[in-house]
Structure 1
Amino acid sequence: MKRKIAAIFAADIAGYSRLVAEDEEETLRRLAAYREVVDDFIARAGGRIFNTAGDAVLAEFPSAVDAVRCAIDIQESLRTRNMAYPPSRQMSFRIGITIGDVVERDGDLLGDGVNIAARLEGLAEVGGICVSRAVHEQVANKLSVQFADIGAQEVKNIPTPVHAYMVAMRRGDGSYATPQIKKVTKAEAAPNWMWPLVVGVVSVVAIGVGGFLYFTKLETTRAPAVAVTAPSPASSPMPNAAAAAAPSPSSTMAAKAPMPMPAPSASPMAGKFPADSVPFINERIRNYLAGDYSAAGDYKAFALNVGGFTGASLNQPNEEAARNAALDQCQKRADAAQSPRRCELYAVGNNVVYTHGKPPMPPQPFVRHDAMTERAFASKDFPMVRDPAKVRLENMFVPSAKSRAVALGPGGQYFMVMGASSADDAARRSLESCGAIAGVACLVVAVDENFVVPIPTLLRITGFFHAASNASIVADARDEVVRKLADGMGWNAVAVGTAGRPGLGLKAADEQTAVNSALADCAKRDSDCHLIAIGPFTVGPIN
């Protein structure tokens, strides 16, 4: 057994037993879909699920910041999914997080840290997050969220009170609300002598109101309604796109509630809309933005998310209505496809308001075809992702229509685009979305039915290889390695010895030849040589 300090995450579905009793089959189906979302977010945040039981999830994270950020992403994603169901059928998690001392045994974690996280989960609001003071101290100045101090809480089987905080959750309009802690106070019973007085007062009031209604004619007025409909930017189904692989829905029309129509103003719409710089979207949407959207002179807005889902609104009575219509249309499309990503405003009028800028991208060309290294795509060989992701690739990417591409990030993030207008478009969009998720440039790994980069099989892939910054290579030799690997064609391998002197195997026809050449070249100038890179990946021993 190994003892360690870890950030422990505990999640459970509120009212799960009631949901199962009302409709077991539908509840279990939705639980599987929601768990897929939860598991993906945990994996992307560097967490590890160490125990599950029914609707409960227990996970560990390397830091409290990662755990809280992951919990917020999960709750926001599930909140949008729940909007498609009536309140009585919504499936919401409670989440508790603490930092504590735990014991690891056969992959499972035991100890007070796990128990306290489970108790904090019980204190959380439905769809909310409750954290311990230790987590609050680690996170308060690192994440832009608010907390409400609920003080020391007596919890079951924990000898000392646990000081807890509630995390502010996002409102429906995208803003964050400060959690309000309600203190329940017990009202004192009214003295017995007051009841006759209360009854008398109520009787007098009732008589007065009845007389007023009898002698007064009540009139009701209704404001005239103006129906406003926003045209869809794509009249035919959009190409499929998926972050962790969700299919794109068909386009739908957005309708806004009736509102009075003021005189239109052209001032917020001045200038041409920069359609060429919009990320994540297909060419059909780009043409719409460059044409109909850019030319429209009334109140309008455009929204998108990193999964490529979009919403546009024209002919709106005011700016707020335009914003709301675009976001609503985009989010409905994303929710229908079970996309875990939130939609955001990209433009109001022709003015870009998107704050994230362009996603990080690698240098062009994004794909270089090489007959020596390309081979048929196989989901089981896809690097750096866990088995659930490989199953999704097999079920969604493999059978989907051309053109399709998958981009991979250095932390195991991935994004697939299916049904694009061309292979180049699929590659670009997968890189843009993957880069936005990962925060760094990604790599196109597969296009259509082939891997388009060398995929090592002799050693385990551990990450991306960057010779210029690789600490295993002695500093004065890195520039030469970068120069010799610049062509990148064929199988290339890099080995180093105890002194960090590199050996290279370049432009080989197969993986084994490149490995042997790199080891032999390293042995000429260093000792105890071992492989550190094959193709674009760092490698290590197969476990």
Structure 2
Amino acid sequence: MKRKIAAIFAADIAGYSRLVAEDEEETLRRLASYREVIDDFIAKATGRIFNTAGDAVLAEFPSAVDAVRCAIDIQESLRTRNMAYPPSRQMSFRIGITIGDVVERNGDLLGDGVNIAARLEGLAEVGGICVSRAVHEQVANKLSVQFADIGAQEVKNIPTPVHAYMVAMRREDGTYSKPQLKKPASRLAAAPVWMWPLVVAVVSVVAIVVTGFLYNTKLKQTATAVVTPAATPSAAPSATPTQLAKAQVAPTAPPNAGAAMAPMPAPSPSASPMTGKFAADSVPFINERIRNYLAGDYSAAGDYKAFALNIGGFTGSALNQPNEEAARNAALDQCQKRADAAQSPRRCELYAVGNNVVYTHGKPPMPPSPYFRHDAMTERTFASKDFPMVRDPQKVRLENMFVPAAKSRSVALGPGGQYFMVLGSSSPEESARRALESCGAIAGVACMIVAVDDNFVVPIPTLLRITGFFHAASNASIVADARDEVVRKLADGMGWNAVAVGTAGRPGLGLKAADEQTAVNSALADCARRDSDCHVIAIGPFTVGPTN
């Protein structure tokens, strides 16, 4: 165990039990979608989720500024998503933040800092943020945030009162709410009679502070366009695209396949922008029905037309518009409305104006085809708990979204733990292609199909811990003059394969084995003939390391 100072963030849903009781399936689906948003913002702000339980999230941040900025971004993003639901079905979080001394044990954090953050979360308004005095002192002069001092609050299981502040949240009309003082968990009933004048005086001062103390600054309006948590867009409408009359928007419907991805940044800007003449066959992220529409109705339409998309597969199209600007705006608006209706936070971008491609991102990096192969020796039933290189919250999301989804479905995995799943596609090949395109755009490098429908389609090691993707041609553990030979021998890729190296970097291979243990044993024996102190560095397509 080790001690450290950290900014602790605690959040959970107000009225979660009631929401579940009213509609369990819909509540769990939306919780998974909203958690994508929260996880993404936390990762973007260099935070780390260290515990989850039901609807609760506990995270640590390197600074109070990062934690508060992240909390504001989360609340504003979720408020926008809640606008699509009636008040009784809105899913709103309360967030509490403090700075405290905590103990780290097996990745989890324990101590008063965690407990106080949870109590501050209980003091927060629905959709609001409550912070400790230590946090307020750290961020007051660094963020354009309004606070209300609600004074010392007595909270459960904390021996001394906690001095707390509410953060003023921006309303829909652009004004800022005035946080309301929550009634503290008080011990006043047991106070002696002679203390009541003092108590009344203290309460009066607190009331004055609450109504009068707001900094004369604006709450930072953080743009969320580049944030990319995901939701399942399967709830979006799926009308068949047909060309409408002049000046109407062609209903280029969202794909019939749902999609979801891990928290990662926007499409990688590393590739050169796509330019040139529009060709339906080259458009990424879309299903074949949309591609047929683009090859037919869109291509045949007049000049004033535009097509927009996002990497989640949502699209918008405008045909026969009065001018180019109208076409641009109509296509973007249609695409974004569809994405927003399905709670996809990914922003839509113009792909084509007229017959010219204007997409600012290059083609997503893709692996060579075929994108997956079936191998009876290594293929096994999909289990979310065994999905490699992602944290437990992502495994829960896969269990809730991927496992019960309609076929055809695929999950692509990136070397940094990015993943993207496409659900309900017309074929396994289409779901794989779309998952790889979207995952590649997120990761900036080619991803790998890990699961298709009910099975893992790559070997998933269990004897050692998966640490990344294995690329023999550039692996520094293998001596340079032996890498090409390893690449050549592993080219077939069927069965269980393992690679071991010794102190001199001389590789040993276990190839086309019927099981993982046999491949490992063969690789170690082969290495021992060339080197000493051999250990396994790769099993199947993954690099591996000790389990602890």
TM-score calculated relative to the size of structure 2: 0.66
Query: Structure 1: which amino acid aligns with 2:423?
Result: M
Partner SS for 1:444? strand
Query: Structure 2: which amino acid aligns with 1:241?
Result: G
Structure 2: which 5+ runs fail to align? 154-159, 180-208, 213-244, 263-274
Query: Structure 2: which amino acid aligns with 1:540?
Result: G
1:459-474 alignment runs, 5 A limit: 459-474=464-479
Of 33, 39, 46 in structure 2, the residue corresponding to residue 37 of structure 1 is 33
Residue of structure 1 in register with 2:512 after alignment: 507
Residue of structure 2 in register with 1:261 after alignment: none
1:46-97 C-alpha deviation (Å, 9 max, x unpaired): 7324265x86532125788986897577456534431312467644446566
Matched, 1:231 2:232: no
Q: Structure 1 residue 476: deviation in Å?
A: 5.3
Query: Structure 1: which amino acid aligns with 2:111?
Result: L
Partner SS for 1:293? helix
1:211-239 C-alpha deviation (Å, 9 max, x unpaired): xxxxxxxxxxxxxxx996422124xx843
Distance 1:428 1:229, change over 3 A: same
Compare 272-281 and 427-436 and name the one that shifted more. 272-281
Residue of structure 2 in register with 1:517 after alignment: 522
Q: Is the 8 A contact 2:8 2:113 kept in 1?
A: no
Query: Structure 2: which amino acid aligns with 1:294?
Result: S
Aligned partners of 1:64, 1:389: CA distance in 2, in Å? Answer: 25
Q: Structure 1 residue 9: deviation in Å?
A: 2.8
Aligned length in residues: 460
Matched, 1:47 2:48: yes
RMSD over aligned Cα, in angstroms?
4.8
Q: Structure 1 residue 4: deviation in Å?
A: 2.2
Higher relative contact order (CA 8 A, sep 6+): 2
Residue of structure 1 in register with 2:102 after alignment: 102
Q: Structure 1 residue 518: deviation in Å?
A: 0.7
1:369-384 alignment runs, 5 A limit: 369-384=374-389
Distance 1:27 1:378, change over 3 A: closer
Q: Is the 8 A contact 1:148 1:181 kept in 2?
A: no
Q: Structure 1 residue 434: deviation in Å?
A: 1.6
Matched, 1:240 2:245: no
Aligned partners of 2:162, 2:210: CA distance in 1, in Å? Answer: 23
Of 412, 421, 426 in structure 1, the residue corresponding to residue 417 of structure 2 is 412
Partner SS for 1:60? strand
Residue of structure 1 in register with 2:189 after alignment: none
Matched, 1:57 2:57: yes
1:288-299 alignment runs, 5 A limit: 288-297=293-302, 299=304
Aligned partners of 1:348, 1:511: CA distance in 2, in Å? Answer: 52
Aligned partners of 2:373, 2:128: CA distance in 1, in Å? Answer: 46
Q: Is the 8 A contact 1:498 1:529 kept in 2?
A: yes
Partner SS for 1:528? coil
Query: Structure 2: which amino acid aligns with 1:230?
Result: V
1:389-430 C-alpha deviation (Å, 9 max, x unpaired): 555545654555544322112233322223434333221111
1:238-284 C-alpha deviation (Å, 9 max, x unpaired): 43132159xxxxxxxxxxxxxxxxxxxxxxxx985343332110122
Aligned partners of 1:526, 1:324: CA distance in 2, in Å? Answer: 65
1:13-65 C-alpha deviation (Å, 9 max, x unpaired): 5xx36x988x784487766444423444565637324265x865321257889
1:110-169 C-alpha deviation (Å, 9 max, x unpaired): 3458747976997899578998686899xx9xxxxxx52559978647999999999999
Query: Structure 1: which amino acid aligns with 2:32?
Result: E
Higher-Rg member (1/2): 1
1:234-313 alignment runs, 5 A limit: 234=253, 238-244=255-261, 272-297=277-302, 299-313=304-318
Query: Structure 2: which amino acid aligns with 1:414?
Result: Y
Partner SS for 1:311? strand
Distance 1:185 1:445, change over 3 A: closer
Aligned partners of 2:385, 2:496: CA distance in 1, in Å? Answer: 21
Q: Is the 8 A contact 1:345 1:353 kept in 2?
A: yes
Aligned partners of 2:442, 2:502: CA distance in 1, in Å? Answer: 36
Partner SS for 1:362? coil
Matched, 1:8 2:8: yes
Query: Structure 2: which amino acid aligns with 1:231?
Result: A
Residue of structure 1 in register with 2:198 after alignment: none
Q: Structure 1 residue 307: deviation in Å?
A: 1.8
Q: Structure 1 residue 306: deviation in Å?
A: 1.9
Query: Structure 1: which amino acid aligns with 2:429?
Result: D
Q: Is the 8 A contact 1:133 1:165 kept in 2?
A: no
Query: Structure 2: which amino acid aligns with 1:102?
Result: V
Q: Structure 1 residue 179: deviation in Å?
A: 9.4
1:346-385 alignment runs, 5 A limit: 346-385=351-390
Q: Structure 1 residue 355: deviation in Å?
A: 2.9
Distance 1:306 1:478, change over 3 A: same
Q: Is the 8 A contact 2:130 2:165 kept in 1?
A: no
Among all aligned residue pairs of Structure 1 and Structure 2, give the percentage whose two residues are the same amino acid.
72
Distance 1:479 1:159, change over 3 A: farther
Q: Structure 1 residue 520: deviation in Å?
A: 0.7
TM-score calculated relative to the size of structure 1: 0.67
Partner SS for 1:148? coil
Q: Is the 8 A contact 2:150 2:166 kept in 1?
A: no
Aligned partners of 2:147, 2:77: CA distance in 1, in Å? Answer: 29
Compare 289-298 and 114-123 and name the one that shifted more. 114-123
Residue of structure 2 in register with 1:217 after alignment: none
